[in-house]
């Protein structure tokens, strides 16, 4: 390959991936509009609920926003100065000096640094969750969760960076192509293994015991043409009072999980509506959709990273010699962290569209907009969901439509289908 072709190849592949990513998003993401949906929080939630919601999120944001900013700033400071590279090199020397040990040790150290720096803010946020009754954890259990999350993040990140640096050492000018393919493959593998490897680290699961409710849920799934072998109950109550259900995994690892907190507090019909929403994700193959988008996005990010790495400025700032230098780990993490934040609006938009489509599926399956709205209110109050998110919070952080929007969706859907509409609470 000529020098000119080597320069242009990443641009060509990035263009192809961009077209593919946009095309897949257009095809698989439900971009439907919902006429008649007019969310009015004051109509569907009491003054006390709105006041509690506002107070909770104001108290929480005092700690969570600075935590996000601090982690990003520390990551950038380590990546855009020689400090991060020196830390990585120091870890490598302590672990024998091989490039693999340097990448792994450096990644673990950098992940630990950001966790420790943010720990006071994380602990303060946990105090807020306890004050409002959302957290049920003692400090030892909370600390163990932080340790598990940090270790998992370090392991997954180290695996990816070992591949990137290894490919760059083997193919200095063409490393980005196998690295992009590997990144996409890791996303797919992660989706398959997540229920088997990651979820057991945070919760214990048991089959829902035989009961009228279990039978009703299995019948609901069969009526939807999405038969499931089992309904699993997660012991979420050891950690939180929040209520939830979800679908995860692909193929043989797909599973439907319900929080024990939901089963304890919601009535049986409301639980059915929650499960109907999750069945919408199954019917629409949403995990597969998200995996496809994630795989393409990961490949796109690697190729974009390769193009950015051509700028000598990065290497002068970081002190590393190039992507094949293990000390580059700090810079690569900084660029990927910044990229993740920039990609957040697109990611949350896609997620909100998918969730809205699953809501419509639940309404069509159950034809019970009144209970659907009651369920959304129940979940919103129990989880202290943001009832009035500002546009920038929705843009960056909200993966689900707001509860008032979802109640308004049920009301609009009921009117369109000549069914009883959910009444306002006041």
**Residues in CB range of 394: below 8 A, 6 or more apart:** 348, 352, 402
Q: What pLDDT does residue 229 have?
A: 77
Domain chopping of the chain, boundaries: 51-416
pLDDT digits (tens, 9 = 90+) for 267-292: 999 999 999 999 999 999 999 999 99
Q: What pLDDT does residue 286 have?
A: 94
Question: Residue 263 to residues 78, 133, 266, 371: CA-CA distances in angstroms?
Answer: 46, 18, 6, 16
Which residues partner with 232 through β-bridges?
207, 257
Residue pair 333/157 in contact (Cβ under 8 Å)? The answer is yes
Is residue 197 pLDDT above 80, yes or no? yes
pTM of the model: 0.94
In 3D, which of 48, 47, 35, 45 has the Cα closest to residue 403?
45
Which residues partner with 135 through β-bridges?
240
Sheet holding 205-207, edge to edge: 205-207, 231-234, 255-259, 245-248
Residue pair 152/201 in contact (Cβ under 8 Å)? The answer is yes
Residue pair 257/248 in contact (Cβ under 8 Å)? The answer is yes
**Which whole number is the average pLDDT over 350-375?**
97
Q: What pLDDT does residue 256 have?
A: 86
State the Cα–Cα distance between residues 10 and 15, nearest whole angstrom: 8
Q: What pLDDT does residue 366 have?
A: 96
**Residues in CB range of 59: below 8 A, 6 or more apart:** 128, 131, 132
State the Cα–Cα distance between residues 130 and 152, nearest whole angstrom: 25
420, with CB counted inside 10 A (0-12, 13-18, 19+), is exposed
Is residue 204 pLDDT above 90, yes or no? yes
pLDDT digits (tens, 9 = 90+) for 310-338: 999 999 999 999 999 999 999 999 999 99
State the Cα–Cα distance between residues 51 and 425, nearest whole angstrom: 15
In 3-state terms, what secondary structure has residue 281? helix
Looking at per-residue pLDDT, the higher value among 81 and 229 belongs to 81
**Residues in CB range of 362: below 8 A, 6 or more apart:** 273, 276, 277, 279, 280, 372
pLDDT digits (tens, 9 = 90+) for 113-148: 999 999 999 999 999 999 999 999 999 999 999 999
Q: What pLDDT does residue 27 have?
A: 96
326, with CB counted inside 10 A (0-12, 13-18, 19+), is buried
Residue with tokens 């390959």: 1
pLDDT digits (tens, 9 = 90+) for 238-265: 999 999 988 887 777 778 899 999 999 8
State the Cα–Cα distance between residues 383 and 406, nearest whole angstrom: 15
Which residues partner with 258 through β-bridges?
233, 245
Quick one: how far is CA 67 from the chain centroid?
Answer: 17
pLDDT digits (tens, 9 = 90+) for 17-69: 999 999 999 999 999 888 889 999 999 999 999 999 999 999 999 999 999 99
Is residue 1 pLDDT above 70, yes or no? no
Q: What pLDDT does residue 196 have?
A: 87
Q: What pLDDT does residue 231 have?
A: 87
| pLDDT band, residue 73 (cuts 50/70/90) | very high
| pLDDT band, residue 227 (cuts 50/70/90) | confident
| pLDDT band, residue 164 (cuts 50/70/90) | very high
**Secondary element (H or E) of residue 232:** strand 231-234
Question: Residue 66 to residues 75, 91, 124: CA-CA distances in angstroms?
Answer: 14, 29, 11
pLDDT digits (tens, 9 = 90+) for 394-404: 999 999 999 99
In angstroms and rounded to an integer, the radius of gyration of the C-alpha atoms of the chain is: 23
In 3D, which of 393, 354, 356 has the Cα closest to residue 25?
354
Residue pair 312/36 in contact (Cβ under 8 Å)? The answer is no
In 3-state terms, what secondary structure has residue 45? coil
Q: What pLDDT does residue 230 have?
A: 81
């Amino acid at each position: 390959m000529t020098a000119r072709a080597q320069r242009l190849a990443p641009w060509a592949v990035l263009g192809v991936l961009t077209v593919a990513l946009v095309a897949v998003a257009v095809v698989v993401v439900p971009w439907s509009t919902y006429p008649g949906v007019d969310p009015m929080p004051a109509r569907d939630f009491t003054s006390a609920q709105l006041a509690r919601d506002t107070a909770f999120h104001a108290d929480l944001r005092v700690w969570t926003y600075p935590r996000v900013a601090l982690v990003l700033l520390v990551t950038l400071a380590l990546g855009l100065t020689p400090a991060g590279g020196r830390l990585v090199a120091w870890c490598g020397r302590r672990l024998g000096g091989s490039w693999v040990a340097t990448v792994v040790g450096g990644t673990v150290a950098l992940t630990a640094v950001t966790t420790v720096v943010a720990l006071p803010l994380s602990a303060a946020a946990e105090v807020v969750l306890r004050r409002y009754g959302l957290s049920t954890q003692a400090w030892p259990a909370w600390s163990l969760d932080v340790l598990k999350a940090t270790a998992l993040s370090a392991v997954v990140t180290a695996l990816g960076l070992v591949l990137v640096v290894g490919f760059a050492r083997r193919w200095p000018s063409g490393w980005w192509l196998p690295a992009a393919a590997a990144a996409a493959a890791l996303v797919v593998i992660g989706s398959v293994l997540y229920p088997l490897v990651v979820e057991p680290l945070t919760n214990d699961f048991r089959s829902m015991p035989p009961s009228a409710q279990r039978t009703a849920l299995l019948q609901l799934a069969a009526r939807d043409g999405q038969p499931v072998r089992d309904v699993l109950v997660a012991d979420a109550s050891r950690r939180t009072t929040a209520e939830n259900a979800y679908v995860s995994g692909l193929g043989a690892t797909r599973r439907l999980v319900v929080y024990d907190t939901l089963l304890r507090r919601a009535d049986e019909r409301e639980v059915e509506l929650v499960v109907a929403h999750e069945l919408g994700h199954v019917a629409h193959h949403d995990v597969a959709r998200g995996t496809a988008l994630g795989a393409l996005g990961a490949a796109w990010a690697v190729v974009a990273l390769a193009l950015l790495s051509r700028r000598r400025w990065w290497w002068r700032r970081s002190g590393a010699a190039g992507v094949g230098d293990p000390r580059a780990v700090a810079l690569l993490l900084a660029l990927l962290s910044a990229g993740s934040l920039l990609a957040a609006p697109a990611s949350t938009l896609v997620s909100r569209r998918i969730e809205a489509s699953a809501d419509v599926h639940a309404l069509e399956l159950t034809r019970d907009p009144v209970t659907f709205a009651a369920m959304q209110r129940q979940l919103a109050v129990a989880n202290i969901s943001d009832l009035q998110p500002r546009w920038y919070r929705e843009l960056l952080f909200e993966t689900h439509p707001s509860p008032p929007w979802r109640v308004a969706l049920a009301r609009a859907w009921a009117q369109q289908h000549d069914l009883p509409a959910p009444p306002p609470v006041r």
